[in-house]
Each structure stands twice: as structure tokens, then as C-alpha cells.
Amino acid sequence: MVSSFGGFHPSNYAVGNPYNTAHVPNNILEYSDRKTFYERLVNTLFTWHWDIGNELYFFRAQNKMKEEFFGPGFPSVQELRKSASLVLVNQHFSLNYPRPLVPAFVEVGGMHVKIPKKPTISKEMKKWLDDAKDGAIYFSMGSNLRSDFMPETARANFLAAFAELKQKVIWKWESDTLPGKPDNVMLTKWAPQMEILSELNFF
């Protein structure tokens, strides 16, 4: 199994990784590993609510889809999850709170990051980054969300926040124009993410 979001707690169940809600925070909640009694209670109830929702809704919907595409007689989604031998998680211990990990639960955060051998960054963008004396920010909603589809209020809030920054901003924006764009913001429909980050000296 592969988890691209840092390992939501159901991933632990696949390989029997210990998940103690008393000190391991749920990824959705903004708690640390040092929680008050109230926070531990909320963390536990929220996790239980998630698990019950999986059993009552998610697995039923997934199994219905499974039968539609693979036909009857195929193992259930629950059974398939239990048959996993390895879980690769997009997380790194240096960015997370201490938690127990069995050998079959492996953190591989950053393994996909590499600087392209063939430059793909444009001269205009490279100059933009080179001239960013106070640093630069790369802002992208990824391939799951289009920035130009966000609500107008959210877009206005981002623009107002970016306008107050000393840093330059490269924004992955899928449309040709952005009304009210500050001078310190560069728009691009597609960006060579790894190369931009390498230009920012992250790697």
C-alpha cells in the first residue's frame, strides 16, 4: 500500500502497526504528542468516528464499486487491506511526532525528489528566482485542485497576503489572467516543481 498524505491512521491497520490515540495524533487534528485529557478524548472519539464511517459508508461504497468492475467472488476491500505486506508512507520522522512503527510500515518521504538532468525551467522564471533577494515561494494546489476554481473570497485573501510579502511568489494558476495580481507574483499554468525547489536551495 502507498499513502501519499503522510499516513492516515487506517494505514496502520493494514500491517498491524500500533496506533495509540493517547499520544499519536490523528493527522486531521492539530494536536501534538503531548495532549491534555480533553485532547486525548477528542482524538480518540474522532478516530473512532472515522473508523465507524469507514465501516458503514466507505467500505460499502468501495465493495459495490469492486463488484461492478471485478465481479462477484473477489475478496472484499477489508480483506485486501489485511493482506498488505508493506505500507509506504509519504512522511519522514524528522517532520513527525514520535510513534511506533513496525518493519512493514516504512516512511519514504522525499524519495521521489530529484533534480532533473535536463533543465526545464524557463529563462524568465530562472531570472525571477535569481532576482528574489528576499527569497521566493512556490504556491501550487497540485493536480487535484485548480487554483482558478477557488472561491473569489479565498482568491482575494491569497492575493492580499502575497502582496504583503517581501518574497516573490510563483503561483501555479491555470487561467491566462488574474485580476488584482500583485507585482511580486508570477503566474504559470505549469511549473517544473522539482527544479523550482532546487533553485530555492531546498535540495
pLDDT digits (tens, 9 = 90+) for 87-114: 999 888 888 888 889 999 999 887 776 6
- All structural domains of the chain with their residue ranges: 2-107, 123-199
Q: Are strands 87-89 and 185-188 parallel, antiparallel or unpaired?
A: unpaired
pLDDT at 41: 96
Is residue 202's pLDDT more than 50? no
pTM score, whole prediction: 0.61
Percentage of the chain modeled with pLDDT above 90:
50
Is residue 130's pLDDT more than 70? yes
Cell of 113: 525528489
Burial 118-146 (b: 16+ CB within 10 A, else e): eeebeeebeebbeebeeebebebeeeeee
pLDDT at 198: 72
Cell of 42: 477528542
pLDDT at 115: 66
Counting Cβ atoms within 10 Å, is residue 150 exposed (0-12), middle (13-18) or buried (19+)? middle
pLDDT digits (tens, 9 = 90+) for 20-54: 999 999 988 989 989 999 999 999 999 999 999 99
pLDDT at 5: 76
In CATH terms, the fold of domain 123-199 is Rossmann fold (3.40.50)
Residues contacting 128, CB < 8 A, separation 6+: 136, 168, 170, 186
